Amino acid sequence: MTYPIAPLFCRPWTLNGLSPRLIESHYAHNYGSAVRRLNAVSDELAALDLTSTAPQALGRLKREQASLLNSTLLHELYFASLGGDGRVPPPAISAALARDFGSFDRWRREFMALAESLAGESGWIVLSYLPRERQLMNLCATEHAQGMAGGVPILALDMYEHAYQLEFGANQEAYVAAFMRNILWPAVESRYAGALDAAPPLTLEQPEFAGLPGVAPEEVLAMLAAGDKVQLIDTRPRHYTTRDNEIMAGAVWRDPERISEWMGSLSKDQPVVTFCVYGFHIGCQSASALRDAGYDARYMRGGHFAWKALDGPVDLFKPPAA
Ligand SMILES: [Fe+2]
C-alpha cells in the first residue's frame, strides 16, 4: 500500500511562538521525508522474494518500516496537537488527567520534565491512553520505533532537533514552553473520547465458573502482608506435584480428587483460597465444592504460576507419597 501525505492539521499562522517557517520546514522536509521513505521501504518489502531473501535483510527492512511508520504517525499527531491556547483542557480530558496524574498541573509538570530529561537528545514525549489499564500515561520514546503496545497516543511533542533548532537553537526549554502554549485541547479530548472505544485486550473467561468468586494473587499477597487469617489450599493435581519442588509459602497441598475427605479439617470461620497450576478448572472446582459445603472459599486467579510471576514467597515442596 501507499501511505498518503496527510494535510497539515494545524494552521501555522495562528500559532503563538512557533512560526510558519518552522512548521512548514518541519512538515515538508522531515514529515514528508518520513512518508516518502516509508513508501520506498514498503515497496522494497513488497517486492522481496521471500524464498531467497536472507531473514536478516527482511528483519532490517521491517524495523526500518516500523520506525518510519511510527515517525509518520507521531508527526501527524504532533501537528494535530497544535492550534489551541494550551490553557484549560475541556472537562472530560481535564477529569481524566486529574484521575490518572493527581491533577492537571502534575500531568503538565511530568510531561515537561520528561522533555527536559532528554537533555538535548532526540525523542518523542507522548500522552497515550492504555485500554488495558483504562488510564492515561506519559511516555518518552527515544526512538521512533518505541511505543506502548495497544496504547492510543493522543498528544505528541516532537523533541527531535529539526522540530525547534531553526528558531530556538539549543533552547529546548523555550521550545517546550511554546508547544505547551499551543496545545489544542479540544482535539486532544476528541482523541481521548475515541480512544475510550478501543477494546482492552481479551481477558481469560471461564463461563462455567462465571459466578464463582475469584481473588487476584496481588490481593492474596496483600492479605498475607496485612496478617489476615486465610487458609491457603494448593489443589494442584497429584500427578503434577512430582514436577514442582515449590509451593506458595503458607499453603498446604491437598489432593483435589479427595476433597470430600479433607474439607472437614478446614475452618468455616476463616476464608479459604484455593488454587491449581494455572487457575483453570481444578482450583475453581475445589473452590466451588467448598462453597457448596458452606466454606467462604475463593479461587486464586492464575494459580501457582501467577503467584510465581508475582514473585510471591514460596516454600520447598515435598511431593506427597504416592
Ligand atoms: Fe519531527
pLDDT in tens, 290-313: 999 999 999 999 999 999 999 999
Distance 161 CA to ligand 1 centre (A): 8
CA–centroid distance, residue 32 to ligand 1 (Å): 10
- pLDDT score recorded for residue 322: 63
The predicted structure's pLDDT at residue 318: 84
C-alpha 1 – ligand 1 centre gap (Å): 23
Q: How many residues does the chain have?
A: 322
CA of 151 to the centre of ligand 1 (A): 20
Residue 162 · residue 116 · CB < 8 Å: no
- Dist. CA 203–CA 210, nearest whole Å: 13
Rounded to the nearest angstrom, the distance between the alpha carbon of 147 and the centre of ligand 1 is: 16
The answer to whether the CB of 130 falls within 8 A of the CB of 137 is yes
Give the amino acid at 291.
R
The pLDDT of residue 205: 86
The Cα 171–Cα 258 span in angstroms is 72
How far does residue 162's CA lie from ligand 1's centre (Å)?
Answer: 6
Distance, CA 210 to ligand 1 centroid (Å)? 49
- The residues of the chain scoring below 70 in pLDDT are 144-146, 322
- How far, in Å, is the centroid of ligand 1 from the Cα of 37? 14
Say how many Å lie between the CA of residue 59 and the centre of ligand 1.
25
Q: Cα(276) to centroid of ligand 1, in Å?
A: 51
pLDDT of residue 1: 83
Q: How far is the CA of 305 from the centre of ligand 1 (A)?
A: 44
**What's the 78 CA to ligand 1 centre distance in angstroms?**
8
Span from the CA of 172 to the centroid of ligand 1 (angstroms): 14
- How many angstroms separate the alpha carbon of residue 77 from the centre of ligand 1? 11
CB within 8 Å of 313: residues ≥ 6 apart: 248, 249, 250
Strand partners, 136: 129
Q: Cα of 158 to ligand 1 centre, how many Å?
A: 5
CA of 26 to the centre of ligand 1 (A): 6
Question: How far out from the chain centre does Cα 243 lie?
Answer: 33
Is 221 in contact with 304 (CB distance < 8 Å)? no
Residue 238 CA to residue 247 CA, distance in Å, equals 13
Give me the residue label for grid cell 511554546: 178
Q: Which of 91, 94, 101, 93 is nearest to 137 (CA)?
A: 101
Distance 16 CA to ligand 1 centre (A): 18
